[in-house]
Chains A and B, each alone.
Chain A
Amino acid sequence: GQQVMQIPQYQHVQEGEDFTTYCNSSTTLSNIQWYKQRPGGHPVFLIQLVKSGEVKKQKRLTFQFGEAKKNSSLHITATQTTDVGTYFCAGPGGKTSYDKVIFGPGTSLSVIP
């Protein structure tokens, strides 16, 4: 079945430093989604990327979808303590946009003030 891998598993950064997490799939993805889960909380949808080479920005967050649609990245500029949490990428597990998604293992971000 479809598998989505993420690296690194953990990342500790000093506040103000940048952070990047990478997501890789063994198969071509029709789309990829990113979620953030704060400690003790539930996943919150951040964004969906659909087009090859797509780049989207949300304030300090930059999301990128690879040209081959097999990899993606999330980059946070100048991290803040509010960025603490686990970031998951997720790929489609079915054939339609309303179908199930399969989550990657996640990258846990710690920000040292």
Chain B
Amino acid sequence: GAVVSQHPSWVICKSGTSVKIECRSLDFQATTMFWYRQFPKQSLMLMATSNEGSKATYEQGVEKDKFLINHASLTLSTLTVTSAHPEDSSFYICSAWSGFSYNEQFFGPGTRLTVL
């Protein structure tokens, strides 16, 4: 089946620094990827839709200048959390439709961000 990887799997950073998270589709091309954020014991909240070669589409309430998304190739999307603060600490997960089975969405293993 399709595989989506994320790097890093966890990161700890100081408040005010920026953190980049990578999402890769390993055995398929993904023109569209999705970024979610999940706080403990809560559901997944969609942050944005990442589109290859164009600007990301952000959900209402998500600051586009704080959460920079770049989808530079058909297999890589990156999420950069700029000037991170403790309230940005969360589990960030990406996903993509595989194309093998159009109605199946594959998720990356997630990145746990802790901002001190």
Q: Kindly report which residue of chain A lies nearest to residue B91, judged by CB atoms.
A: A42
Q: Does B106 interact with chain A (Cβ within 8 Å)?
A: yes
Contact across chains for B43 and A44 when beta carbons are under 8 A apart: no
Q: Is the CB of B105 within 8 A of A106?
A: no
Are B93's CB and A100's CB within 8 A? no
**Interface of chain B residues 32 through 72 with chain A (CB within 8 A):** 32, 34, 36, 41-46, 49
Interface residues on B, range: 20 to 34
Interface residues of A in 62-112 (CB under 8 A from B): 88, 93, 97-106, 108
Docked pose: A58 CA to B80 CA in angstroms = 39
User: Taking A98-B32, A100-B49 as contacts, is the C-beta distance between A45 and B44 under 8 angstroms?
Assistant: no
B97:A44 contact, CB within 8 angstroms: no
- Quick one: which of B34, B43, B104 contacts A100, CB cutoff 8 A? B34
Q: A102 touches which one: B46, B95, B97, B105 (CB < 8 A)? A: B46
Instruction: Check A88/B105 contact, CB under 8 A, given A42-B110, A98-B32.
Output: no
Smallest CB separation, A7 vs chain B (Å) = 13
- The count of chain A contact residues (Cβ–Cβ below 8 Å) is 22
- Residues in A whose Cβ lies below 8 Å from that of B46: 93, 100-103
Binary per-residue interface labels of chain A (26-64) against chain B in the complex, 1 for a CB within 8 Å, 0 otherwise? 000001010000000111110010100000000000000
Q: Which chain A positions have C-beta within 8 A of B45?
A: 103
Selected contact of A48 from candidates B34, B44, B93, B103, CB within 8 Å:
B103
**A–B complex contacts, Cβ < 8 Å, 24 sampled:** A33-B103, A41-B109, A41-B110, A42-B93, A42-B108, A42-B109, A43-B93, A43-B95, A43-B107, A45-B106, A45-B107, A48-B104, A50-B103, A88-B43, A88-B44, A97-B102, A99-B49, A101-B105, A102-B46, A103-B36, A103-B43, A103-B45, A105-B42, A106-B43
Closest 6 CB pairs of A and B: A42-B107, A48-B103, A103-B44, A105-B43, A98-B97, A42-B110
